[in-house]
């Protein structure tokens, strides 16, 4: 009896593991789950997949997070962000702070189309305003342009069609081409103080 007690006492296997009935009835503890809520985190680096980032929680834990649809500014490494968690899912809601002021603030919209509707829209910049795209279309009832100088370079064909075309130049106007043709269906008039044809 003493040897039996000592063998049970010295056994490294718990009593519930030694008894097959207790072992069958034992319920495993569920794995820990991530909570739901909003917290802050730091952007570490891109996780490699489209739209996923590695973020570091205040506890030091690293998790993968996707950028929320409403977060238009593209995150950068080192940003302090607002993070929403729901189970295994994480989303970057907003960028709270950036370590240093970046030269470019990038808006990330993916492949989505963007439409703006307003009574009036005004764009104002201190430096350069640039539009870059494969095709640019504009449609308006009236277009007014005011500039000190304008330079246009077209490598292909520049075609214009209008009901009437009026050109007024205060100083000098020069036209030069390798070949030129000027025709009129009814009337062609040249009026000047001097006309030189060479």
pLDDT of 26 reads 59
d(CA 74, CA 66): 11
Copy the structure tokens of residue 10. 């010295």
**Is it the case that residue 119 has pLDDT exceeding 70?**
yes
Collect all residues with Cβ–Cβ distance below 8 Å to 107 and sequence separation of at least 6: 72, 73, 74
Q: Report the C-alpha gap between 132 and 162 in whole angstroms.
A: 26
Tokens 């929320």 found at: 68
Q: How far is CA 70 from CA 49, 73, 177, in A?
A: 19, 9, 53
pLDDT at 9 (0 to 100): 44
Does 15 score more than 50 pLDDT? yes
Q: What is the pLDDT of residue 115?
A: 87
Q: Rounded CA gap, 105 and 78, in Å?
A: 15
Mean pLDDT of 38-54: 81
Residues with Cβ within 8 Å of 55's Cβ and at least 6 positions away in sequence, in order, are 41, 42, 43, 44, 62, 63, 64, 65, 81, 83, 90, 92
Average pLDDT rounded to a whole number, residues 53-66: 90
- The pLDDT of residue 32: 46
Helix (H) or strand (E) holding 56: strand 52-56
Nearest to 35 by CA among 92, 91, 86: 86
Q: Which domains does the chain have, with CATH numbers?
A: 37-97 (2.40.50.140)
The answer to pTM > 0.75 is: no
**Distance of alpha carbon 3 from alpha carbon 10, whole angstroms:** 10
Q: What is the pLDDT of residues 142-161, one digit of tens each?
A: 999 999 999 999 999 999 99
* Strand partners for 38: 84
87-110 pLDDT, tens digit each: 888 999 999 988 876 677 777 777
At 165, is the pLDDT very low, low, confident or very high (cuts 50, 70, 90)? Answer: very high
pLDDT of residue 45: 80
Residue 64 is encoded by which pair of tokens?
């993968």
Q: How far is CA 99 from the centre of its chain?
A: 20
Top pLDDT among 50 and 15 is at 50
pLDDT per residue over 21-33, tens digit each?
Answer: 556 665 554 444 5
Structure tokens at 38: 């909003």
pLDDT bucket at 183, cuts 50 / 70 / 90: very high
């Amino acid at each position: 009896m003493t040897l039996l007690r000592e063998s049970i006492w010295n056994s490294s296997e718990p009593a519930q593991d030694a008894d097959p009935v207790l072992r069958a009835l034992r319920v495993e503890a569920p794995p820990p789950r991530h909570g739901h809520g909003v917290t802050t985190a730091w952007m570490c680096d891109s996780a490699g997949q489209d739209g996923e980032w590695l973020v570091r929680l205040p506890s030091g834990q690293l998790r993968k997070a996707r950028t929320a649809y409403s977060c238009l500014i593209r995150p950068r490494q080192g940003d302090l962000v607002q993070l929403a968690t729901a189970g295994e899912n994480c989303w970057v809601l907003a960028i709270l702070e950036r370590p240093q002021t970046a030269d470019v603030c990038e808006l990330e919209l993916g492949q989505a189309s963007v439409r703006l509707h307003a009574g009036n829209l005004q764009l104002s910049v201190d430096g350069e305003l640039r539009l870059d795209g494969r095709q640019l279309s504009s449609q308006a009832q009236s277009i007014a342009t005011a500039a000190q100088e304008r330079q246009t370079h077209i490598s292909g064909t520049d075609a214009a069609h209008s009901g009437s075309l009026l050109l007024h130049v205060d100083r000098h106007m020069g036209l030069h081409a390798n070949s030129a043709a000027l025709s009129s269906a009814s009337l062609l008039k040249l009026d000047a103080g001097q006309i030189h044809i060479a």
